[in-house]
Amino acid sequence: MKTKCRILPRVYFNRPTVTVARSLIGKYLVRAIDGRILAGKIVEVEAYVGPQDKACHASKGRTQRTDVMFGPGGVAYVYLIYGMYYCLNVVTDREEFPSAVLIRAIEIDGELIDGPGRLCRALQIDRRLNRVDLTTGESLWFEDRGALMERGDVGAYPRVGVDYAGEWAKKPWRFRLRRVTAQTRTGRTKAKGGAG
């Protein structure tokens, strides 16, 4: 029996960030490119929670770059690191409480695309998609395809590349599917964390 795909609505993202992050494991990130649809099962994410979280970009205040994080949930926050890698985040929680989830890895057609920079390359995501509404089902969105994740299916780990954040770096706010069966496309991109 085929399960109906459901685009995740704004109310889904207007919840506590850690809750949203964990619940995104097993959901799908969908990209429409020139009439083609690419869909990847989300296997790893990281949560960045508000202005007190020293690993969160918004911990340094509201800037032109982080302004999007202070807005409504379900909106894309795309930024460039090392001058070459884009990273995709989805804004979460309530307005004026800057939080987001970084999408770190997906599986597409049996291939593991591991690392936020590689993921953005594979799905042609760049700054043009910054501030795009991810709840409308147009160029980029999230879908629930009915996969149920049991508690033991998802592991919680410290976030990657945020050692500068002190105690905040140890928060177990990186969630990964424990059994990833897909083969990695190429070597892992060591993209630094610290997203929204």
Q: Which residue has the tokens 């410290």?
A: 158
Coil, helix or strand at residue 122: helix
| CA 27/CA 23 separation, integer angstroms | 8
pTM score, two decimals?
0.89
Report the DSSP pairing between strands 111-114 and 183-184: parallel
| CA 21/CA 16 separation, integer angstroms | 9
CA atoms within 13 Å, Cβ hemisphere of 174: 19
Per-residue pLDDT of the chain (196 residues; tens, 9 = 90+): 455 789 999 999 999 999 999 999 999 999 999 999 999 999 999 999 999 999 999 999 898 889 999 999 999 999 998 888 999 999 999 999 999 999 999 999 999 999 999 999 999 999 999 999 999 999 999 999 998 888 799 999 999 989 899 889 999 999 999 886 666 654 444 344 455 5
